[in-house]
Structure 1
Amino acid sequence: MEERRRKILQELEEKGKVRVNELSAELGCSEVTIRNDIKCMERAGLLIRTHGGALKIEETPQKKYSAESIYRNTDKKKAIAARAYECVDDRDTIIIDDTSTGFYLALHIKQHAEKRIAVVTNSLLVGNELAGLDHVELYMVGGPVGGHLAATMGDEAVADISRFHVDKAFIGVHGINFDVGITSTASPQVQVKQAIMKASDKVIVLADSSKFGGGYLSVICPLRDIYQIITDEEVDEEYSERAEREQIPLIIA
């Protein structure tokens, strides 16, 4: 058992993530055994368990940013970011907006140089993490800076975003309401997200399980306009079942 778990940790160190089915084949044991190993290793603080596998524990970013939302639910956001990265193909062009889960996607991209990506962002935090990387071609959206997570917004940002066309956009939301769509709390964020959607072939929402249900002030778009929603495994069964009934593509990280 110890040797098996040591090999799991070695795979995580080399690859950053592992899949249960691959480990089962490689180590010659059942998937149930691997899942039990991963559960025990998670309790010991050795890895982050995800749907179908596990992630390497990366160091939490130093508190060089003042936005406290970055440091809440970090394990969930890292798992969602890792799953989102799987949606990115080599040579893709993508947009990442100014959300805390988008920030963790940027960190994941920073730590994995196997794909060359062009990234457009209005987030100063995302731009700061991706600037100067050989495998990232970075484009910053212009405009006045504001908001909790320091990003460009307003008419200038919306106009700047409209100049781009990308393969995929990764956006965060205030909430997901199955009756009305994806929601926000403020008009400037709605305008920017709607501009991002127009500039993208596919829009992927990154939302931890706390984002489902609840009230809203503004609706960004109906759920039918979203290509995919990626969330964590703690999402309420009520929402996952409804997503399945209504054929809403909900991916569990």
Structure 2
Amino acid sequence: MLQLERQQQILNYLEKNRKATTNELSELLGVSATTIRTDLNQMDKEKLLTKTHGGAIYRDRSGDKKDLTGRAYFFDERALENQPEKEAIASEAVKLVRDHMCIFLDASSTAYTLGMKLTGFTELTVITNGINLALALKDVPGITVILTGGIVTSASSSIEGLLGEDLLRKIHTDIAFVSARGFSLENGLTDFSIYEADLKRMCIKASAKTIALIDHTKFDTTSISSYASLDDLNLVITDNHLSQNTREVYEKAGIDLVIAE
């Protein structure tokens, strides 16, 4: 069970029973008491519940209306969203990767899905700021992994910032595969973290081609920091749930769209 699912079940249980012990939750969810305590500590900090000695009590959130979807996404949480769409997008994107390429994959769950499809290459270099992706690819035959330098973030399992800026200036990639928190005609690709946006902006400048991996839920939404304009994008791969009207609007604006089936 992933962290998001587990914590949502904790919230549901507390809403129904008003309180719970660590041992109760451990037995209910089939995980260790240590795991439950870690969850409760995190959720208490985010004011999702009130931690007590040996357990937790329900916290009325009707005033602030904060829930799990309102906080910064953890990697495991993002991985749960729109999984079939991400699989389809990644299957389409991997067709564009050739032997002897150097590619950039960001720390998104969609890029991770693409990374899991990178097999059968004799020589491929992958640059990424995604810790999970780097760990998953490090032992794959034929793939050399370069992890960008910077600050490790526990929430998104990524490396942010430009401490490795000098390295990035010396490396040129064939394709930068990037995702985003939002995509709009006005603001292009946007992300929640300004630091990760800075990194992506630099990687796009160093790449011969930029391909955005954007599921249909990201269209016509905007997050905090813009890192790529429409002119920066050579191709956008999305899923087949994108409405025909939205597709026509973006194609009319000059976006080359590929619909993954």
Give the alignment's TM-score, normalised by structure 2.
0.67
2:129 and 2:160 in contact (8 A); partners too: yes
Q: Give the Å deviation of 1:66.
A: 6.0
Superposed CA RMSD in Å reads: 1.7
Q: Give the Å deviation of 1:147.
A: 5.3
Equivalent in the alignment of 2:234: 227
Equivalent in the alignment of 2:163: 156
Q: Give the Å deviation of 1:92.
A: 1.0
Equivalent in the alignment of 2:4: none
Q: Deviation above 4 Å: which 4+ runs of structure 1? A: none
2:115 and 2:137 in contact (8 A); partners too: yes
Partner of residue 109 from structure 2, selected from 82, 97, 100: 100
How far apart, CA to CA, are the structure 2 residues paired with 1:148 and 1:160? 25
Gaps of 5+ in 2: 1-73
Equivalent in the alignment of 2:47: none
Equivalent in the alignment of 1:185: 192
Secondary structure of the structure 1 residue equivalent to 2:117: helix
Q: Give the Å deviation of 1:119.
A: 0.7
The structure with more radius of gyration: 2
Q: Which amino acid aligns with 1:237?
A: Q
Structure 2 CA distance for partners of 1:232 and 1:121, relative to 1, 3 Å: same
Equivalent in the alignment of 1:146: 153
Structure 2 CA distance for partners of 1:66 and 1:250, relative to 1, 3 Å: closer
Structure 2 CA distance for partners of 1:144 and 1:215, relative to 1, 3 Å: closer
Secondary structure of the structure 1 residue equivalent to 2:91: helix
Percent sequence identity is: 27
Matching of residues 1-253 of structure 1 within 5 Å: 67-109=76-118, 112-114=119-121, 116-146=123-153, 148-253=155-260
1:202 and 1:226 in contact (8 A); partners too: yes
2:75 and 2:157 in contact (8 A); partners too: no
Structure 2 CA distance for partners of 1:218 and 1:142, relative to 1, 3 Å: closer
Structure 2 CA distance for partners of 1:224 and 1:147, relative to 1, 3 Å: farther
2:107 and 2:129 in contact (8 A); partners too: yes
Gaps of 5+ in 1: 1-64
1:158 and 1:191 in contact (8 A); partners too: no
Q: Which amino acid aligns with 1:98?
A: A
